[in-house]
Amino acid sequence: MLLQGKVAIVTGAGRGIGRAIARKFADEGARVAVTARTESEIREVATEIDRKHGAKTAHPVVADVSREPDCEKIVAEARKAFGATDILVNNAAIYGPVQPVEKFSARDWDEVMAVNLRAPMLLSKLALPEMYARKSGVILNISTVGAKAAFALSSAYTASKAGLIGLTRTLAAEAAQKGVRVNAICPGPVTETRMSQQLSKEFAAYFKADADESLKRMLNSVLQGRPQTVGEIAQAALFLVSDQSSAITGQTLNVDGGMIFY
């Protein structure tokens, strides 16, 4: 068990990649605060984890990470339920409208930034003092290969996720000698999630293309020729938050089947 006795906060844990990460961490002995806006989804994840690992292994927190008081609530409730925060996974994100820059509204831009970039900063700010006092802790940010490539119609999302890589490096530099590691994962296409499936439809509609054909073309640009699974992202997350990666900080790990090479 790689995370025995640890406490993790996983944002966006109601479904998709965040849900898989929360389940994987609980399988490895962690207690997990699972948080998102949709109460039914996080209650379902928490119940599923508790059924498998015992009551109070998971604690659901309904919160909108774009709101600062909700970020405070997440960290406070995790502390109240479990007494500490050893691991913070900033996974919650939205894509925003599939539009070129000239059609993008300032309001949509701000919303994407608030969820994808400001929230990881706020949650890190709230979790770090305790980690520094204990001289141990790990923060993991979920970015995307899109932050290292050039895809159209994703300005706010891509800028926020590239910013998240910058935040990862700065936090790593500030935290390294205080016992805290900070890294990021850049997943490739994880086609089983709601975000991915919605995007696939929206891109196809924008380009008046067939969604299945477009997906096939995109997957042809991946060396392995297939999408990644939520379980594969969760496995990489486990590595980066466990002591198995004790000398790794300030890095971005592409979990993309061979798509981006830096």
Segment interacting with ligand NAP (CB under 6 A) among 35-43, 98-106, 176-184, 207-215: 35-43
Could you say which of 6, 15, 23, 148 contacts ligand NAP (CB under 6 A)? 15
Residue 115 found at the interface with ligand NAP (CB under 6 A): yes
Looking at residues 66 to 105 of the shown chain, list those that interact with ligand NAP (rule: CB under 6 A): 66, 91-94
Cα–Cα distances (Å) from 235 to 52, 126, 170, 216, in that order, read 19, 26, 25, 25
By the 8 A CB rule, do 143 and 184 touch? Answer: yes
**From 132, 157, 206, 262, the catalytic residue:** 157
The 10 Å Cβ neighbour count of residue 155 is 18
Look at the block and give the residue holding tokens 């609980």: 26
Is residue 262 part of the annotated active site? The answer reads no
Segment interacting with ligand NAP (CB under 6 A) among 22-30, 64-72, 81-89, 241-249: 64-72
In the complex, minimum distance from the CB of residue 219 to ligand NAP, in angstroms, rounded to a whole number = 12
Residue 244 found at the interface with ligand NAP (CB under 6 A): no
Q: Which residues lie near ligand NAP (CB under 6 A)?
A: 11-12, 14-18, 36-38, 41, 63-66, 91-94, 115, 142, 144, 187, 189-190, 193-196
Hey, which residues are catalytic here? 157
